[in-house]
Amino acid sequence: MKTVACVAATAADKPLEKSTLDRRDLRDDDIMIEVEYSGICHSDIHTVRGEWGPCHYPMSPGHEIIGRIVETGPAVTGFEVGERVGVGCLVDSCGECEQCLAGQQQDCLNGNVGTYNSKDRRDGSITQGGYSTHIPVSQDFAIHIPESLDPAAAAPLLCAGITTYSPLARFGAGPGTKVAVVGMGGLGHMAVKLAAAMGAEVTVISHSHAKEDDGRRFGAVDYVATGDDPRALDRLRGAFDLIINTISAPFDAVDYLRALKPHGAMVLVGLPPEPMKIPAGALIGGGKILAGSNIGGIPQTQEMIDFCAEHGITAEIELIGADQINEAYDRVVDSDVRYRFVIDAKTF
């Protein structure tokens, strides 16, 4: 057992504070990571504040983790002490179901294990995340991080990156395709960068023009502000092969489905607060697809990281210390960040 420094929440209605937690002794297939950087995801905030159901406190969140290996278990192969690695949203799954065997651990039929606030499959303990100086993880859930990537700016790739890369790859974004990205926050800015690097023609659809310069810098060829022009979506009818919808606010799905070409797809990666009402005809006409996507499996996460290294893609970040986490949470809720907060683990 190893006691390490961390930042943790003790209750849904209390600020996070510096603390300590006990890390397990290494299992045979474990690596111990000394954390360098840990990203803040909006889902951390929802979870910590009890907005997504019951939680286990104290809780140290964080599933966008970059660090270096400082110790390995005796059965570890393919990873070495000193190597930079990452950990995303998952730290275990059954490894036996058809989804796991296909490399889709996020859809494990027997229940995967989240990086924090989840029950460990092997010993029943509650997992604790990356807002800490060290984290042990099975080698099967670690990602090789190329040295060419800025480690702080690479941290959000472990969630925001794979969340947007996976549907882009699944629905064939590439040369000759037109992709719209709805919303350009933490997820959306990654979708723009990735789709452009894949060779797609990218349009950003946002509420205002405030981020237009950024959108074009990230690779978009067009930018549409719906708040300034209520009929903007009407003029986009039949324009896109694929829409990646990242927003979590209520929206009229039919308006966006009309912007698809026949047989086009709109993929939801945001979580609006209310159920959507969609007439069947909006999908039947033109054979359109409405889909969801939830992060990605470990093989595809490694594929995404390698793609980002090849194309020089990282997140746009604001680096903060541990004493700024509570303020950062409030700023994320207020949409006051461009585009992700990342915590320097030396400050835990």
Domain limits, the chain? 2-159+315-347, 160-292
Per-position pLDDT tens, the chain of length 348: 899 999 999 999 999 999 999 999 999 999 999 999 999 999 999 999 999 988 999 999 999 999 999 999 999 999 999 999 999 999 999 999 999 999 999 999 999 999 999 999 999 999 999 999 999 999 999 999 999 999 999 999 999 999 999 999 999 999 999 999 999 999 999 999 999 999 999 999 999 999 999 999 999 999 999 998 888 999 999 999 999 999 998 899 999 999 999 999 999 999 988 899 999 999 999 999 999 999 999 999 999 999 999 999 999 999 999 999 999 999 999 999 999 999 999 999
pLDDT at 226: 93
CA distance 69 to 30: 10
Radius of gyration of the chain (CA): 20
- The secondary structure of residue 110, as a DSSP letter, is T
CATH number of 2-159+315-347: 3.90.180.10
CA distance 88 to 66: 9
Superfamily of domain 160-292: NAD(P)-binding Rossmann-like Domain (3.40.50.720)
CA distance 40 to 342: 6
pLDDT at 7: 99
| pTM summary value | 0.96
Residue with tokens 């803040």: 40
**Helical (H) or strand (E) element with 114:** strand 113-114
CA distance 65 to 63: 6
pLDDT at 273: 85
